[in-house]
Structure 1
Amino acid sequence: MSVVGIDFGALKTTIAVARNRGVDVITNEVSNRSTPSMVGFGPKSRYLGESAKTQEISNLKNTVSSLKRLAGRKFNDPELDIERNFISAELVEARGGEVGARVKYLGQDEVFTGTQLIAMYLSKLKQITATEIKLPVSDVVLSVPAWFTDNQRRSLMDAAEIAGLKLLRLMNDTTASALGWGITKTDLPTGDEPSRKVCFVDIGHSNYTASIVSFRKGELTVLATAYDRHFGGRNIDAALIDHFAEEFKGKYKIDIKSNAKAYFRVAAAVEKLKKVLSANTQAPISVESVMEDIDASSMMKREDLEELIKPLIDRATVPLQQALDQAGLKKEDIDIIELIGGSTRVPCFKEKIHEFFGKPLSFTLNQDEAVARGCAFACAILSPVFRVRDFSVHDILNYPIEFTWEQSPEIPDEDTCLTVFNQNNAVPSTKILTFYRKEPFDLEAQYAKPDQLPGKISPWIGRFSIKGVQPDPKGDFMICKLKARINLHGVLNIESGYYVEEVEVEEEIKEEGDAMETDEKADAPKKTRKVKKQIKKGDLPVISATSAMDAELRSTYHERENQMFMEDKLVTDTEDRKNALEEFIYEMRGKIDDLYGDFASEDEKTKVKKALETVEDWLYDEGEDTTKAIYIAKMEELRAIVGPIAQRYFDKEEEKRQAEREKHEAEAMRKAQAEMAKKQAQAKQKEDVEMKDEQKQPVVEDMDIE
């Protein structure tokens, strides 16, 4: 059984697995330790991860990136206008008002929902992992931004199920990093020692999170989490693109914003420029054939970049102060400031954070892999197949949740709204709600402060219908108990409902007689009756309606995903067979006169060369695009011609190997016999010496003088 942690990023994704008594980050099919978070579509198959990145510039309209930012979004969400700046495919309204992407797939126009797109990508990650660890992949822990809502989390849960993954936990990014940091520490405070407080600062490609975590031996407790949802590497890229768009407009008379391919070529170039400027004070940028056959180039100084992103730099300390305020702490209370995320390498961000705390910054975690490793540790803790050091994780809820209901006509002063889970409430957490009702009723759950939510994401979480409610035997209210729970994923459910009922029961008890009485009647115990109240419990059916996908639709999407996976596999297998045939032709053309030259007659050589030429001509003409079976048939056809010649060569080689083996064995036998003879001679010589010594002994004794 596999234990996998996935850091699902907006730009790229990292996968870690627990194995060999540790946690390893695995590589993908091109040996990279992270995989681009994008999905593309073509006339024959999908392009997932690395292949999507390779095809991106030539397939912009059919490539969807920033997948995570689409989770749980509705098409009318105004924040999608921001996302359109970073996604080249057309975003449209899909089933149920969910945002989707319109692409051309297998020659047909298709609309895939955000959840489906994420499921496709997760399926690719599953395939990468299975190939690397050579085991089926099921159990995973997936990272999410701490600011994700119930709707967004359920979207990821649905996507994981569509992809055939068993999601053990959705884990907040910074909480995963905190787990990876703390579980390996052996010097955490114990007993009455004050806890160690660490601020984890995670600046990634699209968002910035600051989380303050308290550590004690064997546990971590998240005290506060604050964030900026639109602060990251892509905002730096956007500032650079705007700058060079203006510069190139004046310098080369071209407008890269009017040409999608030119825009994304410059985007790829500025991403590299940004990385170089993190280590150097200035760097060049060069974009070949940006548009209209123009090669564009320029220079950028780090100080000029910092001036471009000054509004971003000014916001760099806002989440830090918000986190401190939530936790009720001062800067001096923070013991360690740990930086993670690729964008924390930007010097001006590091300087700003250092100035804010007035303390050295810590980089003990791998900035790109810390979240994935933490998720893998979390998966190992939850998995029954791994033994892990005991370590408890106490996370928090970032948005308060309230319940509303209709007032009972018979309880005129009843409240109809209650905040059940406050901000920073522990996660997971369970609350018991009590209602007095005579008939079935409904509860609505929503976020209590909609203004805190991302964009215009609906504050609605779900409707829960409580059935089976009726008056008790006396005609009074039924006492209804509901178990509301925020689970490990950070989503809300009414897990169960039950009623309690007081019932009067008559019970016989024994009363002892007077010990001094001798009357027979008195000796017998007296029976009396006592009324006792007992609690009777029974289940109440709960029907839940949330943003989660219904089981039937989820099953349909799962079947469609499997179908597309098999289509992709067929295309890949076909391409592999075609490449194998092409390689075989080149290989045999070289071997027939060289390696196999002494084992084939001239007629046979001519026949082989003719067959190779014929198949090669076919391969670059009719065989350019055909089926897997035909490529296999062509390969078998060539093997049948070359096979006898190759067999002669292998037979001769085997004869040589056998002769060499026999020679080595004979030599080894000769050496063994010589060694044995030598040992026998030495033993005989030793025996002769001992015999001579024994023969001399009596003579010596006779000559002893007393």
Structure 2
Amino acid sequence: MSVVGLDFGTQNAVIAVARNKGVDVIANEVSNRATPSLVGFGPKCRYLGETAKSLEISNLKNTVGSLTRLAGRSLNDPDVQMEKDYLSVPLIEKDGQLGARVKYQGKDTDFTAAQLAAMFLTRAKQTASAELKLAVNEMVIACPAWYTDAQRRCLLDAADIAGLKILRLINETTATALGYGITKLDLPTAEEKPRRVAFIDIGHSNYTCSIAEFKKGELKIVATACDRHFGGRNFDKAVMDHFRKVFQDKHKIDIYSNDKAKVRVSAAVEKMKKILSANAGAPINIEMVMNDIDVSSFLKREELEELVAPLLERATGPLEQALADAKLTQDDIDVVELVGGCTRVPALKRAIADFFKDKTLSYTLNADEAIARGCAFSCAILSPVFRVRDFSVQDIAQYPVEFTWEKSPDIPDEDTQLTVFNKGNAMPSTKILTFYRKQPFDLEAKYAKPDALPGRINPWIGRFSVKGVKADAKDDFMICKLKARLNLHGVLNVEQGYFVEEQEIEEPIPEAKDETKKEGEAMETDEKTNGEAKAPKVKKVKKQVRKGDLSLSAGTASLSPEVKERYFELEGQMQSEDKLVAETEDKKNELESEIYGMRNKIDEPYSSNGYSDFASEEEKEKVKAKCETLEDWLYDDGEDATKAQYIAKQEELRASAGPIIQRFNDKRQEEADARREKEEAAAAKKREQDEANRKAAEEAKKAEAEAKKAEAPAADEEMKDAPTAEGDEKMPDLEAST
């Protein structure tokens, strides 16, 4: 079983895996530790991750990013309209979900946000499998803390389409906190005051602050606050707006009118921003940005801070909100831990430090990889393969959830609304709802405060129908119990329904102990009446006894099994096409390499590993002609040939040079055989020498033994004349002396 964690970010994704010696971050096919969260489409196949990034500018109209910000949204959502500033593909609505329209295999094709996310998860799965040398089927994925039920369900659907089982959908700052705390050995005990840590994560597009309390073996999130439109790309946008005016005044061009120019300037500005984090100034130079015009300029750090001043004014908003929700002050925070690439901006660090009264900011975690490492730890905790130090993780609900239902005609004054999970409610969590009904009924779950939701997301969560409800034999209410659960993923479900009956049962009354009995008195004995044990005292109490199950049907934002199965099959088909295209491209490259290799080798001597010494001039001309013919075909008709055609052309080339190659190989074999015979002769000679040396050594040893044996009788004669151990003077008798 694989133990893999994925930080699925807006700009990049990071994959981490738990091993016996700790957690490692996996490098992708080009040895980068972060993979661009992009999906591209071409005339033959898809481009995922690094390939999509390398082709982004040339394939801009068919490359989709911001995958996690499109998940679970609708087309008329204000957040989605803002997201169009960062996308070059048209957004559409398909099957009731937000999606994108791209040109794939030569025709316009619509894909939903769940399908697009599934495509990238497929790439992450392949990257992890290639590194681990085994199949990856399970994973823990991080998502923003502000995700709603619909967004979380969309990611879970995407994982199903990609053939992945999600062990846990964990909030990003919760994953960071887990990675921070699980390795700490000095956490306070249960009786001591908890260690409070503020985790501040400012990434490419999100700003999240979570207050966590740590005790030995325990992590508890007490508050989380977010700003969905505060991140590195917002800083970049402020600088781009500045250079747009500069280039308009200086070169009379509008970079926002050209998508490719916009992407190139955005990349240059991002690079400049990183340079300004460590330097006082940085240049920007872009060749032929648009209309064959080269642009250049310079920006100082002070100027950058002026441009992003409106953003810096919002820097303390999530901090204030998180402390207020946790009912804490800055003095109550023991550590302020920063992660995320945007936390490297000096002005932002100063603003956070000032808010916490110049408290020393901590950077003990890897800013870019902390979330992925926390996900890998979470996966290890949930995996039966690893034995991990006991560490419980308790997250909280970000939005309050309420249930509403139809009023029963038999209960005219019944309340029909109840907030079941409040903001800050522990997660996972289970609540039991009790209803008195005589007939089947429905209830709906929705968010209690729609204004707090991101954008204009529909507050509706799901509709649940309870069946099999009827009056009892006395025409009385059936007592129905429903188990509502906010699970590990932060997703709400009504998992179980059953009915109970109130019954009178007898319970023994525990007898009070006689504490007046003095020490030394006789042991207590059972009181007996007429020789029989006295019956224990009992009382009758009413208890609800479970009598049976109720059937449930649910309608939620999740895709139906039929739609998921259709998307799963389509994803498998596209994977097969991608694989075939990759294999075809490999065969094409092999053919091209073989043509050039054959053309060079046919004129090279045998000493240079060539075929010239084994071919006549006529044969050489024939092979060269075949190489030229194949080269012309390859760059004309063979540009879009099939895998089988490339293999057939390779066979043609090898057949034309077959006799020459055979003679070359025969010569190589002769030399190899000669070398082998020479080596075998040398080895045989060495064995003979070793055998002769062994025999000589044995004979020498035998002669030495015989010489020693010849000297032995003379030594025995000498021993006979030698005095005994007693000598002339006998040793005293110890016993007699005593």
- Provide TM-score, normalisation by structure 2: 0.88
Contact 1:61 1:88 in 2 (8 A): yes
Q: 1:503: how far off?
A: 5.7
How do 1:201-600 and structure 2 match up within 5 A?
Answer: 201-357=200-356, 358-502=358-502, 515=530, 535-592=545-602, 593=604, 594-597=608-611, 600=614
**SS of the counterpart of 2:629?**
helix
Contact 1:208 1:227 in 2 (8 A): yes
Please state if 1:607 is matched with 2:622.
yes
Instruction: Indicate the residue corresponding to 2:196 in structure 1.
Output: 197
Over residues 435-454 of structure 1, what are the superposed CA-to-partner deviations in whole Å (9 max), with x where a residue is unaligned? 11111111111111111110
How do 1:57-136 and structure 2 match up within 5 A?
Answer: 57-96=57-96, 98-136=97-135
Please state if 1:665 is matched with 2:664.
no
Instruction: Indicate the residue corresponding to 1:652 in structure 2.
Output: 670
Instruction: Structure 1: give runs of 5+ residues left out of the alignment.
Output: 507-512, 518-529
Instruction: Indicate the residue corresponding to 2:640 in structure 1.
Output: 625
**SS of the counterpart of 1:84?**
helix
Q: 1:174: how far off?
A: 0.8
**SS of the counterpart of 2:192?**
coil
Alignment CA distance shift 1:531-1:287 (3 Å)? closer
- Which shows bigger deviation, 227-236 or 657-666? 657-666
Q: 1:691: how far off?
A: 4.9
Alignment CA distance shift 1:426-1:613 (3 Å)? same
For residue 125 of structure 1, what is the amino acid of its counterpart? A
- The CA distance in 1 between the partners of 2:342 and 2:85, in whole Å, is 19
Contact 1:176 1:371 in 2 (8 A): yes
- Which shows bigger deviation, 561-570 or 665-674? 665-674
Instruction: Indicate the residue corresponding to 1:639 in structure 2.
Output: 654
Contact 1:599 1:648 in 2 (8 A): no
Over residues 618-659 of structure 1, what are the superposed CA-to-partner deviations in whole Å (9 max), with x where a residue is unaligned? 211211111110001111222333452453254135325524
Over residues 485-523 of structure 1, what are the superposed CA-to-partner deviations in whole Å (9 max), with x where a residue is unaligned? 0011100000011111236899xxxxxx99599xxxxxx
- The CA distance in 2 between the partners of 1:514 and 1:377, in whole Å, is 65
For residue 597 of structure 2, what is the amino acid of its counterpart? E
Over residues 526-555 of structure 1, what are the superposed CA-to-partner deviations in whole Å (9 max), with x where a residue is unaligned? xxxx99988351111111111111111111
Alignment CA distance shift 1:482-1:652 (3 Å)? same
Contact 1:599 1:649 in 2 (8 A): no
- Which shows bigger deviation, 425-434 or 352-361? 352-361
For residue 551 of structure 1, what is the amino acid of its counterpart? P
Contact 2:601 2:612 in 1 (8 A): no
**SS of the counterpart of 2:59?**
helix
Alignment CA distance shift 1:227-1:595 (3 Å)? same
Q: 1:690: how far off?
A: 4.4
Instruction: Indicate the residue corresponding to 1:10 in structure 2.
Output: 10
Q: 1:394: how far off?
A: 0.8
Instruction: Indicate the residue corresponding to 1:35 in structure 2.
Output: 35
- The CA distance in 2 between the partners of 1:207 and 1:333, in whole Å, is 25
- The CA distance in 1 between the partners of 2:349 and 2:46, in whole Å, is 40
Q: 1:422: how far off?
A: 0.7
Alignment CA distance shift 1:704-1:464 (3 Å)? closer
**SS of the counterpart of 1:446?**
strand
- The CA distance in 1 between the partners of 2:682 and 2:352, in whole Å, is 71
For residue 209 of structure 1, what is the amino acid of its counterpart? T
Instruction: Indicate the residue corresponding to 2:155 in structure 1.
Output: 156
- The CA distance in 1 between the partners of 2:429 and 2:23, in whole Å, is 29
Instruction: Indicate the residue corresponding to 2:183 in structure 1.
Output: 184
For residue 628 of structure 1, what is the amino acid of its counterpart? K
Paired residues in the alignment total 688
Q: 1:115: how far off?
A: 1.3
Alignment CA distance shift 1:607-1:209 (3 Å)? same
| Structure with the greater alpha carbon radius of gyration | 2
* Aligned sequence identity (%): 60
Over residues 93-112 of structure 1, what are the superposed CA-to-partner deviations in whole Å (9 max), with x where a residue is unaligned? 2221x221111111111121
Contact 2:599 2:624 in 1 (8 A): yes
Instruction: Indicate the residue corresponding to 2:514 in structure 1.
Output: none
Alignment CA distance shift 1:261-1:191 (3 Å)? closer
- The CA distance in 1 between the partners of 2:692 and 2:601, in whole Å, is 45
Contact 1:3 1:17 in 2 (8 A): yes
- The CA distance in 2 between the partners of 1:272 and 1:591, in whole Å, is 46
Alignment CA distance shift 1:675-1:239 (3 Å)? farther
Contact 1:502 1:536 in 2 (8 A): no
- The CA distance in 2 between the partners of 1:166 and 1:209, in whole Å, is 27
Contact 1:79 1:455 in 2 (8 A): yes
Alignment CA distance shift 1:668-1:14 (3 Å)? farther
Q: 1:601: how far off?
A: 2.5
Q: 1:607: how far off?
A: 3.4
Q: 1:84: how far off?
A: 0.6
**SS of the counterpart of 2:286?**
strand
Q: 1:703: how far off?
A: 8.9
- The CA distance in 1 between the partners of 2:375 and 2:336, in whole Å, is 21
Alignment CA distance shift 1:282-1:700 (3 Å)? farther
For residue 589 of structure 1, what is the amino acid of its counterpart? R
- The CA distance in 1 between the partners of 2:104 and 2:250, in whole Å, is 39
- The CA distance in 2 between the partners of 1:282 and 1:381, in whole Å, is 46
- The CA distance in 2 between the partners of 1:156 and 1:333, in whole Å, is 36
Q: 1:213: how far off?
A: 1.1
Alignment CA distance shift 1:682-1:294 (3 Å)? farther
Instruction: Indicate the residue corresponding to 2:511 in structure 1.
Output: none
Over residues 297-351 of structure 1, what are the superposed CA-to-partner deviations in whole Å (9 max), with x where a residue is unaligned? 1111111111111111121122112111211222222222211111111111222
Contact 2:611 2:664 in 1 (8 A): no
Alignment CA distance shift 1:184-1:696 (3 Å)? farther
RMSD, matched Cα: 2.6
Contact 1:599 1:645 in 2 (8 A): no
Q: 1:565: how far off?
A: 1.4
Alignment CA distance shift 1:163-1:671 (3 Å)? farther
Q: 1:663: how far off?
A: 5.4
- The CA distance in 2 between the partners of 1:205 and 1:122, in whole Å, is 19
For residue 211 of structure 2, what is the amino acid of its counterpart? I
Q: 1:189: how far off?
A: 1.9
Over residues 233-281 of structure 1, what are the superposed CA-to-partner deviations in whole Å (9 max), with x where a residue is unaligned? 1001111111111111111111111111111110111111111112222
For residue 694 of structure 2, what is the amino acid of its counterpart? M
Alignment CA distance shift 1:406-1:290 (3 Å)? same
Alignment CA distance shift 1:650-1:228 (3 Å)? farther
- Which shows bigger deviation, 2-11 or 272-281? 272-281
- Which shows bigger deviation, 652-661 or 412-421? 652-661
